Chains A and B, each alone.
Chain A
Amino acid sequence: AEVEETLKRIQAHKGVIATIVVNGEGIPIRTTLDNSTTVQYAGLLHQLTMKARSTVRDIDPQNELTFLRIRSKKHEIMVAPDKEYLLIVIQNPCE
């Protein structure tokens, strides 16, 4: 459906290694990686996103987390949070 098309568009972008969609409980619902890695990413990033969100709101209760980016030596992980879902995209920014 359109869901698949949207995900395919994101996945086809330059340097994207993987795309994962996680629901509000941290359970992955769409992924392009193998199961064990997906579960690992979903669990860890869900927790980190909740922590980041509460950090932003503690500093300023009027503020809200919009986007989370983690840059590591090998690639960059981008998380787009929402009330019900989480979109995780892993990109290799090859310079």
Chain B
Amino acid sequence: ARFHGNPRSGRWELVGPRPPLAAMFADGTAPGADVQSLWRSARSARCEAKSCQTGRISTAETAVQSHTSRDAGVQTDQSKDAVQDFQQEVQVDYTSLLSFLQRVEDAVIKELNKNWKSRAFDGFEVNWTDQNETVLCLHTLSYPEAQDQNLQVTSVSWNATGSVVACSYGRLDGGDWSTEKSYVCTWNLDRRGLNPQRPDLVVDVPSSVMCLAFHPSQPSLIAGGLFGGELVVWDTSRTEDPVIWRTGMTDDTHTDPVYQVNWLPDAKHRNRARLLSVSTDGKILVWREERDGRLALAEGFAMVAQQIPRSTQLKKFAWGEAAVGVTSLSFSHFDPRVFVVGVEGGYSLKCSTAAETLALHRAGSSVPLRAPAELAFSPHGGPVYSVSCSPFHRQVLNLFLSCGTDGQVHLHSMLQTQPLVSLQLSKKYLFCVRWSPVRPLVFAAASGEGNCNKCFCFVGDVHLFDFGKSSQKPAVSIKQAAGECPVYCLEFNIKQTQLLAAGDATGTVKVWQLSSDFTEQGPREMTRLEQLASEITD
């Protein structure tokens, strides 16, 4: 640079070539680097387009039509024994048979004699099954809706296969005519999902059901007797309307509650049964099924006070033509025409279906009623609520039990009026008595105080009595209800003999499993029973 001008107002100025202004930085764009993609071309370099086609599938259209079919039924014939003729078909060589018998006869007679005198097996008993020592409550079944209405269990029944128990709800202590709705409930105990509060089937019934009975061979039919005197038969396998037969309210039906209903095998038609109903209006009626779902009266009996035979030892009561209220009935197991009834007057009567004399009954009915009573036994101190004939006894002296409100159980033989044994089981009423189906010396009785009064309640008991152990007091007394209400009904299960069902006034049914000594027959029970029966007093 050179100084120009005078020092007072000079200016400096650049000397020399002036450098370019923006020599070092300049804008510019640089071309970016890029790589061409090869994959498409690479791919297409290696791929080839191809197509394929499946070979021809041969198809054909055809139609199939089943041949016409026809329904046919097959039924095996009953009671034709296939081996009836075996004795004629088999060729018997008598000489060789004779020589065989002669050879063995001596040995057999010797063994028979030895056996008769042998004392080797006295008191020797073998236990094949585990002994169950106690009585357990297996199930406690109830229907809460019925319990809310304070209904009581009036009757229990086991079905033909022994796996279903049914109970009827109603009232046994209501004296007035009631139009209360009630129920019939069934539980299948062999089912896995058994809910004790929820019955498998609940049938609504417009009035109280007083008694129930399952059909002895068809597992789904139940008959029930109503408070109004009607009989109804339900079929539990039908879902829409289980009622299949009913008597309806006709001139023939009972005018009082039906307290017991039984199925009778019909002698003429094998697979049809007839129903028998017992009521406190004094009539015992036998019904048969009609086609339109009705039950029609087949034959009937009426108990009128004048026609009851009295022995000289019993006092005469002036009943006149009053009807005698029948509360229970039991058929003899050995003579199907003989049955025993218990009446409200405290008597048990032996009756026969073959009786011929007509009853002096006032009301007209479509079938003439007969008077069946043949023998009156010595009375209880109160109405008889239950009678039961022994299923075991072989000889003519049929045994039966009767129980009533005097708390006594009488063991009678049908040949004499005085009881063989008279037991004061409890101070309470006895509502039901049943023989055990397996042990000839055992029976069960249901007791309890008659009124379920809130202040004076006694615990209901089921008493199991064994004549082999003690003739005076029960072998086992089971307290049924933790609450305090009487036990009204009980039934043994014939197929599963260790089960006993009992229904009480709180509306529960308890299924008890009995200990082994109640289910296995001892070696000499029948003879002991026969001894008991032959202690006839004069």
What is the interface of chain A, defined by CB distance below 8 A to chain B?
Answer: 1-3, 6-7, 9-10, 13-16, 21, 23, 27-30, 35-36, 39, 66-67, 69, 71, 73-74, 76, 78, 80, 82, 84-85, 87, 89, 91, 93-95
- The yes or no answer to B108 lying at the interface (CB within 8 A) is yes
B-side interface size class:
20 to 34
Give 1 or 0 for each of B87-127: 1 = CB within 8 Å of chain A CB.
Answer: 10010101011101111110111011101101101100100
* A residues less than 8 Å from B115 (CB atoms): 15, 76, 78, 91, 93
9 contacting pairs across A/B (C-beta < 8 A): A9-B109, A10-B108, A14-B112, A21-B101, A29-B90, A93-B115, A93-B121, A95-B119, A95-B122
Query: Are A29 and B87 in contact, CB atoms less than 8 angstroms apart?
Result: yes
Tell whether A14 pairs with B81 under 8 Å between CB atoms, given A80-B107, A84-B100, A87-B108: no
Distance in Å: Cβ of B224 to nearest Cβ of chain A: 36
- Main secondary structure, interface of B, reads helix
Bound form: Cα–Cα A28–B64 in Å = 55
**Contacts A29-B90, A73-B125 known; 8 new A-B pairs at CB < 8 A:** A1-B98, A6-B102, A10-B109, A23-B92, A29-B97, A91-B112, A91-B115, A95-B122
Bound form: Cα–Cα A39–B494 in Å = 26
Query: Are A6 and B101 in contact, CB atoms less than 8 angstroms apart?
Result: yes
A-B contact count (CB 8 A): 90
Query: Are B108 and A27 in contact, CB atoms less than 8 angstroms apart?
Result: no
* Other-chain residue from B97, B112, B524 in contact with A3 (beta carbon distance below 8 A): B97
Bound form: Cα–Cα A23–B89 in Å = 13
Bound form: Cα–Cα A74–B92 in Å = 32
Query: Are B111 and A69 in contact, CB atoms less than 8 angstroms apart?
Result: yes
* A residues less than 8 Å from B521 (CB atoms): 73
Tell whether A35 pairs with B101 under 8 Å between CB atoms, given A73-B523, A80-B107: no
Distance in Å: Cβ of B392 to nearest Cβ of chain A: 13
Give 1 or 0 for each of B399-419: 1 = CB within 8 Å of chain A CB.
Answer: 000000000000000000000
Query: Are B111 and A67 in contact, CB atoms less than 8 angstroms apart?
Result: yes
* Other-chain residue from B81, B86, B112 in contact with A89 (beta carbon distance below 8 A): B112
Tell whether A36 pairs with B108 under 8 Å between CB atoms, given A71-B121, A73-B523, A93-B116: no
Distance in Å: Cβ of B48 to nearest Cβ of chain A: 82
* B residues less than 8 Å from A87 (CB atoms): 100-101, 104, 108
Query: Are B104 and A29 in contact, CB atoms less than 8 angstroms apart?
Result: no
Query: Are B94 and A35 in contact, CB atoms less than 8 angstroms apart?
Result: no
* A residues less than 8 Å from B86 (CB atoms): 27-29, 35, 39
* B residues less than 8 Å from A85 (CB atoms): 96-97, 100
Distance in Å: Cβ of B390 to nearest Cβ of chain A: 18
- The yes or no answer to B527 lying at the interface (CB within 8 A) is yes
* B residues less than 8 Å from A27 (CB atoms): 86, 90
Bound form: Cα–Cα A3–B95 in Å = 9
* B residues less than 8 Å from A67 (CB atoms): 107, 111
Query: Are A89 and B96 in contact, CB atoms less than 8 angstroms apart?
Result: no
Bound form: Cα–Cα A95–B123 in Å = 10
Bound form: Cα–Cα A28–B92 in Å = 11
